[in-house]
Amino acid sequence: MAPELLPPLAEAVHLAAALPAEVTWDVRPRMPDWGVGGTQDPDGDPVGRLLNIAQGVVVVIGVIGILYAAAKMAIGKLGRSEVAADGVGGVVWTVMGVSLMLVAVPVVTTLIGS
């Protein structure tokens, strides 16, 4: 880029930044709608709301399962190798169980037609 073009380009950018922009702001706090059909309306989709709560519970159970397996591996580090091996197996079972539970939600949603 030629050096003589930089000052006019900088001036154009400065003027563009100074233009007023229309911004709307909704003061009510709301969760974003990620296209899953989740509405904030209490009379909205109760099955979808239940499934969203179930997904949250599954994630919490998964975190607790991973922490439990990690604790077993830490105890196994102190000289009990069978406990550490059980902890590693627990991680595999936890990840697979949580994955299956999270896959079940879209399957149920498809079956009920929501």
Please write the tens of the pLDDT for every residue from 22-59. Answer: 777 777 766 656 565 555 555 566 777 777 888 888 88
Separation CA 73–CA 79 (nearest Å): 10
Q: Which class for 14: exposed (0-12), middle (13-18), buried (19 or more C-beta within 10 A)?
A: exposed
Q: What is the pLDDT of residue 114?
A: 55
Return the domain boundaries, the chain. 45-114
What sign for the dihedral angle of Cα 48, 53, 54, 55? positive
Separation CA 78–CA 64 (nearest Å): 22
Question: For residue 62, what are its two tokens?
Answer: 């998964």
For the chain, percent of residues with pLDDT exceeding 70: 82
With tokens 């007023």, the residue in question is: 20
Which DSSP symbol is given to 37?
-
What is the pLDDT averaged over residues 9-23?
A: 80
